[in-house]
Amino acid sequence: MLDIKILFWYYFGTMNKNFTKLQVPIDKDDLAGLKKRAQSLGFDSVQAYIRVWAKAVKEGRQLNFGVDDWGEPSDEAAARLNRWAEEAERDHKAGKLETFATVEEFMKDLRA
């Protein structure tokens, strides 16, 4: 459910009248490979991948889509992380999570 919220926010939060359409001729095999790479990185489309890349280039940033130094989590670690995420989402919806008005408040609580 969280992924849908993020995707909805990203799509509607970034779409505006300032957008233009860019059409680029590309070899079918190259496009298929680009689709596969974008999906492996977690993008829902080649367009989303290119938007992120183009924005980074415009801002003078370099994206590193290389090998993750941490590697893939084990099945047990993935299950544990998913459980924690579900618990956090449930606690958030139930109003059980503490909120902070400033970063300083958050950091003070974090360091306590």
Q: Which domain holds residue 23?
A: 1-65
61 plus 77 within the same structural domain = no
Average pLDDT over residues 77-92: 92
Q: Is the pLDDT of residue 35 over 90?
A: yes
31 plus 13 within the same structural domain = yes
What's the pLDDT score for residue 19? Answer: 74
Pick the range with the lowest mean pLDDT from 7-11, 20-24, 52-56. 7-11
Name the percent of the chain lying above pLDDT 70.
81
What is the sign, positive or negative, of the torsion defined by CA atoms of 48, 55, 32, 23? positive
| Cβ atoms within 10 Å, residue 8 | 10
Segment (H or E) for 50: helix 46-58
For residues 28 and 20, what is the distance between their CA atoms, to the nearest angstrom? Answer: 23
Average pLDDT over residues 32-61: 90
48 plus 79 within the same structural domain = no
Average pLDDT over residues 28-39: 92
